[in-house]
Amino acid sequence: MTAEIQSALVAFLVTSTALPVIIFFLRKWGILDNPSGRSSHHSPTIRGAGAAQILGICSSWGSLGWIPSWGVLGPITFGVLGLVDDIKAQRPLVRLMAQLTIGIATVSVFVSELRYTISFLILVVVGPIFVVFVVNATNFMDGINGISALHGVLLGTTYWILLTEASPVWAAIAAAVVGVSLAFLPWNWGSRARAFLGDSGSYLLGALYAVLVIAAWKVGISPLIAVAPLAIYLIDVSRTISLRIVGRRPLFVAHREHVYQELADRGLSHSSVSLIVGFFTIMASGLAIAADRELVQLPFMIFLLCILSLIYLSLPRMLGTRSATR
C-alpha cells in the first residue's frame, strides 16, 4: 500500500467514525446554524462537523510519521480556530488577527530553506496574506450543501496528481484531503444537509489548499500552475469583494452576491450548483495538470483559464432574470 492510499484511507475511516459522535455532541450542545434572510438553508442545521475532519487529518498525518513537516500543523490550527468560532462567533477583527498570526507561523515553516533569496522575500511578504485569503475564500464559498466537500475531493485529487512524483509525502497530505472530504460528503449532499462543516472545516480545508500550493511551488512546480486549480473559488470571491468595495457595502456582513449563490437564487438546486462549480474546478485543474505535464504551454493555460473564469462569472446572466422564490 502506498503512502498516499494509506493516508487517504486513514483520513476517511477516522473522519467517518468521528462524524456521528461529534454531531451527537454538537446537537446536544445546541451548536446550530439558524437560517436568516441571507442563508441557503431553511431549518436549523448542526454546524462545526469539520471537527471530525481535523481528527482525520491529524490521524492521517500521524500515520505518515508526522511528516512532511510541521507545516501541516498550521492548517490544523486554522481548523481549531474555526471550531472556536463555530461554538462562539468572534469579532471580525479578532478573527482576522488570529488568522494572520497563524498564517505567518505556517509560512515560516516553508521559508527556512530560502534565506536571503527573492523567493524568500516573496513568501515572507505575500505568503501569510495568500494563506489567509484562501482560508477565507473557502469559507465564503461554503454556502450551499455539498460544494465544499466536493471541492475538497476534486482539489485533493488534483494536488495528489501534481505532487506524486515531485513530493510523494505532500501528495499523501493531498490524499488525506480527499479522504476527509469523501467522508463528509454524504452528510452534506442534497437539499437537506444533516450537518455543516462550519468554520472548522472550511478553515481547515482552505489552509490545506494554501500549503499545498506553497509546497508545490517549493518542489519546482510553477506557482501559476500550483494556484490554477483554485481559480474558480478565487475569482468568485475576488469579484464579490470588488463589487462590495465599489458599492461601498461592508465586507464583513453576510450577503448573497457570490456567483454560486446567484445560481441557486435562479432556481437551481444545491446539488446542481455544486456540480456546476465542480465542473469548472475540474476544467481548471485539468489545465493545471496539462501545463505541468507540458501538454500545453503556460501562456495558453493562462489564456484558457481566463476564458473559463469569464464563462463562470457569466453563468447567472445566462440563466436570465432572478427567480422570485428560492
Mean pLDDT of the chain, nearest integer:
91
Contacts of 208 (CB under 8 A, 6+ apart): 57, 75, 173, 177
Confidence band (pLDDT; 50, 70, 90) for 326?
A: very low
Predicted structure pTM score: 0.93
Report the distance separating Cα 293 and Cα 70, nearest Å: 29
The pLDDT > 70 percentage for the chain reads: 93
- Position with higher pLDDT, 36 vs 251: 251
pLDDT digits (tens, 9 = 90+) for 96-134: 999 999 999 999 888 766 565 676 777 788 999 999 999
Residues in the chain: 326
Report the distance separating Cα 304 and Cα 230, nearest Å: 14
Q: Is the pLDDT reported for residue 324 higher than 50?
A: no
What's the pLDDT at 70?
A: 81
Confidence band (pLDDT; 50, 70, 90) for 325?
A: very low
Question: What is the average per-residue pLDDT within 86-95?
Answer: 89
The pLDDT > 90 percentage for the chain reads: 73
The most confident of 36-45, 190-199, 201-210, by mean pLDDT: 201-210
| Secondary structure (DSSP) of 67-133 | -S-GGGHHHHHHHHHHHHHHHSPPPHHHHHHHHHHHHHHHHHTTSTT-TTSHHHHHHHHHHHHHHHH
- Position with higher pLDDT, 159 vs 42: 159
Question: What is the average per-residue pLDDT within 271-283?
Answer: 97
What's the pLDDT at 1?
A: 78
What's the pLDDT at 216?
A: 95
pLDDT digits (tens, 9 = 90+) for 171-203: 999 999 999 999 999 999 987 788 999 999 999
What's the pLDDT at 316?
A: 92
What's the pLDDT at 36?
A: 60
Grid-cell match 450548483, residue found: 273
- Position with higher pLDDT, 248 vs 86: 86
